[in-house]
Amino acid sequence: MRKLALSLALLGMFGTPALADEEAERQAHWAELREAVFGDRAAVAAADLIALEAPKRALDAALVPITVTTKPGSDVTGLTVVIDDNPGPVAAKVSYGPRGDASLLTLRVRVNQYTYMHAVAETSDGALHETAQFVKAAGGCSAPVGAGEAESLAQIGRMKLRLSGEVAAGQPVDAQVLIRHPNFNGMQMDQLTRLYTPMRYVQQVEITLNDERVLSMENDISLATDPAIGFRFVPRAEDLPGKLKVVVRDSDDAVFEQSFDVPASGS
Amino acid sequence: MLHRRHLLLGGLCACCLPLTRTRASSFILTEVAPGIHVRRGVDEDASPGNADAIANAGFIVGQESVLVFDPGGSLGDGAALRAMIREKTQLPIRTVVLNHVHPDHIFGAGAFLEDKPDFIGHARLPAALAARGDYYKQRLEEILGAGAAGPVVMPTLDVADAAEVDLGERVVRLKAHGPAHTDNDLSVFDAETGTLFPSDLLFVGRVPALDGSLNGWLAELEALKRIGAARAVPGHGPEQVNWPAGAADLERYLRTLVEETRQAVRDNIGIEAAVEQVAAGERGRWTLFDAYHGRNVTQAYKELEWE
């Protein structure tokens, strides 16, 4: 996986299209990326199964909120989000377990430049369904590396969970987990030593409900500082009240873990 | 008169040639207090027509040397500022203050390298420039053209807390602030005339940009209000405003942003919805509101959701 991420990073850095024949080059770049991630499996453009919502123009290059939705009941087993022209284009690769629900995924990502974003859903029959959105980079003083990493590092591993709406057996529950982590992408410099801070980013997130998997996610360096993951899980009657556990592993192999109470009802 | 000045600039230095398209209005100097000259930035985003001269820039003349505060937004803008300094005084330019990391305040620094001044910045500026300098340069040159931004100039002197610079019978004080507008804001105070240069800790008319800490900004503003200044030169806005009265609009904006973002976090409406709703009542009170406000809400949300 480390090797794959590296080769993808190189693609992201050197595969940037020039102005001429821009659209064709962007499509060719995506074809390369798709092959690197999924091999030669063909994808169906399936706007009715999967949708990707991102701002047409990023307001903040260091924090672009995106939402992926899939049609409920379409048996999605995995979701992949690719930011074509970022260094480290694969922002997230999510696979869902028995307590998971792929109908909603929200993330906050960095966007370095004008780029396509792709969301690809894999269904249980092995088919791939893709959709794309073009995002213009932010202007002005906005930069993909934000301020405030010092505080994130000081509080590294702290987490918050937000549940919204009713919690009821058999019904998807909307949740969001916030993870304090600087997600250093190797571009930041340590102010005391004046050396570049080595890459250190959230690489893996595992979410379980009473030890049964909701989702597991692998990430490259495109997630924003303090990753925020919005997702859905479906508790059974015997799961409530229960414990939602989040385990985060970063690229230094540091592991952060926290459990949250899921009440029988209410929010 | 102004046209002739432009021709003169073109003749003086080859690096100013792209400037011929620059608006003359952005190169008028105002002496806001004895020996303090300010070039007002235009309330626009960077464009080839304005050479990124969108922030206020200027200089203070002492008995022995000149201090430049905010050297301008591009190499060409800095060169124009330098030429204007040379029209006023031949004293050496010994100090260039880099107020904070944002491109519209620092890329003029390249035009002052030949003077070999001390480039003074906040102790956190080198880290911020290392992380963002090349990115800013690339983005600015996409707008202004290749080579037009100028080099990323690193500070040669850091200020971690406070410092003084003697310009010859004129001592100005520098103050390094906690995270506020950015995490590397440096202000200048000329006690002799009671003039404060808060740089982008003060926006007037142009919508503020939040890139550090919202709570921190309000705290630093509160401290600056008590500094005993009679006037302030905002980073963006008129050449000068009364102090501290001139901070009132900014303070209202920041407080509204705090209150309504906290409410949005409590209501768990998410960043996308918050961007649409928070402090929408401020629209119409600021220029460039729609270009920057949504980003401010994003920054506020990610700060306050951890409270």
DSSP letter string, A48-116 = TTEEEE--SB-S-TT-EEEEEEE-TTS-EEEEEEEETTSSS-EEEEEEE-TTEEEEEEEEEE---SSEE
A197 occurs within a structural domain: yes
Q: If we measure between CA atoms, which residue out of B227, B188, B239, B234 comes closest to residue B209?
A: B234
First to last CA, chain A: 37
A37 occurs within a structural domain: no
* 3-class DSSP state of A179: strand
Distance of residue A241 Cα from the nearest chain B Cα, in angstroms:
22
Residue of A nearest to B211 (CA): A147
* 3-class DSSP state of A195: coil
pLDDT above 50 for A53? yes
Contact check, Cβ <8 Å, A143/B135: yes
pLDDT average, residue stretch A55-79: 94
Q: If we measure between CA atoms, which residue out of B127, B12, B115, B33 comes closest to residue B71?
A: B115
Q: CB of B198 within 8 A of CB of B229? A: no
Residue range B5-51, pLDDT digits in tens: 333 333 333 333 344 444 444 578 999 999 999 999 999 999 999 99
Distance of residue B300 Cα from the nearest chain A Cα, in angstroms:
12
CATH among 3.90.550.10, 3.90.79.10, 3.40.1030.10, 3.60.15.10 for B2-246? 3.60.15.10
> What is the predicted pLDDT for the residue at A206?
98
> What is the predicted pLDDT for the residue at B75?
97
Residue range B252-272, pLDDT digits in tens: 999 999 999 999 999 999 999
> What is the predicted pLDDT for the residue at B239?
97
A24 occurs within a structural domain: no
pLDDT average, residue stretch A231-243: 96
Alpha helix stretches (DSSP H) within chain A: 2-14, 22-38, 149-154
Look up residue A6 and give its two tokens. Answer: 């590296």
pLDDT above 70 for A4? no
Give backbone dihedrals phi and psi of B139, rounded to 5 degrees, phi first. -65, -40
pLDDT above 90 for B119? yes
Hey, CA dihedral for A28, A30, A31, A37, is it positive or negative? positive
Look up residue B34 and give its two tokens. Answer: 């004895």
Please report, for the domain that includes residue A126, its CATH number.
2.60.40.2470
Looking at per-residue confidence, does B161 or A195 come out higher?
B161
Query: Any chain B CB within 8 A of the CB of A196?
Result: yes
pLDDT above 50 for B298? yes
A7 occurs within a structural domain: no
A223 occurs within a structural domain: yes
Query: What's the domain range around A237?
Result: 44-262
A5 occurs within a structural domain: no
Residue of B nearest to A141 (CA): B102
* 3-class DSSP state of B190: strand
A56 occurs within a structural domain: yes
Contact map slice: A 225-254 vs B, CB within 8 A? 226, 230
Q: HSE on the CB side for B264, CA within 13 Å?
A: 26
**Chain A hits for B126, Cβ within 8 Å:** 189, 191, 194
Q: What is the mean pLDDT of chain A?
A: 87
**Based on the structure, what is the number of domains in chain A?**
1
* 3-class DSSP state of B33: strand
**DSSP symbols for B228-293:** --SEEEEEESSS-EETTGGGHHHHHHHHHHHHHHHHHHHTT-HHHHHHHHTTGGGTTSSBTHHHHH
Contact check, Cβ <8 Å, A140/B291: yes
Which residues, at least 6 apart from B136, have a Cβ–Cβ distance to it below 8 Å? Answer: A141, A143, B101, B102, B103, B107, B149, B152
pLDDT average, residue stretch B200-211: 97
> What is the predicted pLDDT for the residue at A150?
80
Of A63, A137, A147, the CB nearest to B298: A63
For residues A187 and A183, give the distance between their C-alpha atoms in angstroms, rounded to a whole number.
11
Residue range A135-183, pLDDT digits in tens: 998 877 788 876 667 889 899 999 999 998 889 999 999 999 999 999 9
Of B102, B130, B275, the CB nearest to A141: B102
> What is the predicted pLDDT for the residue at B32?
97
Mutate to test the interface with B, among A56, A59, A166 (most CBs of B within 10 A): A59
Look up residue B284 and give its two tokens. Answer: 């119409």
pLDDT average, residue stretch B140-159: 96
pLDDT above 90 for B279? yes
Q: CB of B89 within 8 A of CB of B130? A: no
A10 occurs within a structural domain: no
Of A65, A145, A150, the CB nearest to B131: A145
Give backbone dihedrals phi and psi of B267, rounded to 5 degrees, phi first. -80, -5
Rounded to 5°, angle at Cα B180 from B244 and B119: 95
